[in-house]
Amino acid sequence: MTDTRSFSLSRLPALATVGIFLVVVVIGFAIFAPNFLTLNNASTIVITASVIMLASLGQLLVVISGGFDLSIGGVLPLSAVTFANLTTAGVPMIAAMAVCLAVGILVGLVHTYFIVHLKINPLITTLATMSITAGLAFTLANGQTLTVPAEAGVLGDRAISTVPWHVFLMIALVIVMHLLLSHTVLGRRIYMVGGNPEAARLAGVRVTVIGGSVYVFSGFFAAMAGIVTASQLLAASGAMGATTTMQSLAAVVLGGAALTGGRGSVPGAVIGVLLLGVIANGMSILHVPSFYQQVVTGLVLLAAVTLSRIQERARRAA
């Protein structure tokens, strides 16, 4: 039988909806900002968005599993400041990166203990660790902006034309995480735990292990985002990453992830990050003040959550 129901955004897949919105936004900025649609500006958008993309990869895993991680905005500056201090002290870049990633993983393990084993609400736990890690970042930086030695900024150096190495690192990690979620047992189990943890447990899935692993991944990616930021700017401070948590959440929800868990994808997160990057870049070209950009990001997140709920209800009613 032919479906004669009228067209509605609520019936479109989330990925298609945000994709259409991205195209509309790009066209809009191209009309009002003639220098927006250029190769150099496209490169700038990707370079700027790469840090948010890294943070969003970890956030995506947590959201799919049914949680969320507010600590990203603290782990990122802590990692950046640690990287700056270590490299300034003469520690080799690779060793400094390893220490920073270990710090991020440690924060993830702390989340595992409190959220998965002690059953403390993720909001309370990750909000507390965000405060702790952000405070540590300010303490280690003595409230100042630290410099990173030029030789430690390899990830920020240009690899091809104007594109730096960290963009290729980000692309590689995006591919790896897409394969992990789409083609591995771990990926399928993350979706199972987020969709129905009790059913997953009855199916033999070790829910505590899966639930803990996503926070470890998130800590890793937040720390990597901090390293990339410090390498790119050759500077680090405790104030870095103040809006990263909200941006990563907005990106994954825009890309179709459900805050109730069990749904989301890496391609969706990529489109969500690009949308936020395009909006921020376009508003900067139009000389819109940064605080208005934060307002717009918040409104976009609210709209994404609302549309996600409408689409979920439409699917249930179908």
Predicted confidence (pLDDT) at residue 93 exceeds the cutoff of 90: yes
pLDDT-derived band of residue 3, with 50, 70 and 90 as boundaries? Answer: very low
CB 250 within 8 A of CB 276: yes
HEC letters along the chain: CCCCCCCCHHHCCHHHHHHHHHHHHHHHHHHHCCCCCCHHHHHHHHHHHHHHHHHHHHHHHHHHCCCCCCCHHHHHHHHHHHHHHHHHCCCCHHHHHHHHHHHHHHHHHHHHHHHHHCCCCHHHHHHHHHHHHHHHHHHHCCCCCEECCHHHCHHHCEEECCEEHHHHHHHHHHHHHHHHHHHCHHHHHHHHHHHCHHHHHHCCCCHHHHHHHHHHHHHHHHHHHHHHHHHHHCEECCCCCCCHHHHHHHHHHHCCCCCCCCCCCHHHHHHHHHHHHHHHHHHHHCCCCHHHHHHHHHHHHHHHHHHHHHHHHHHHHC
pLDDT at 6: 43
pLDDT at 95: 97
Predicted confidence (pLDDT) at residue 25 exceeds the cutoff of 80: yes
pLDDT in tens, 251-305: 999 888 988 899 999 999 999 999 999 999 999 999 888 788 778 878 877 877 7
pLDDT in tens, 213-241: 999 999 999 999 999 999 999 999 999 98
pLDDT at 12: 54
pLDDT in tens, 186-209: 999 999 999 999 999 999 999 999
**What does the pLDDT average to over 34-53?**
91
User: Among 41-45, 163-167, 314-318, where is mean pLDDT lowest?
Assistant: 314-318
pLDDT at 110: 97
Percentage of the chain modeled with pLDDT above 90: 70
Predicted confidence (pLDDT) at residue 157 exceeds the cutoff of 90: no
Q: Is the pTM of this model over 0.85?
A: yes
CB 255 within 8 A of CB 270: yes
Predicted confidence (pLDDT) at residue 11 exceeds the cutoff of 70: no
pLDDT at 315: 67
Candidates 253, 307, 297, 283; CA nearest to 28 is 283
Q: Which residues of 206-219 are buried (b: 16+ CB within 10 A; e: fewer)?
A: ebeebbbbbbbbbb
pLDDT at 260: 87
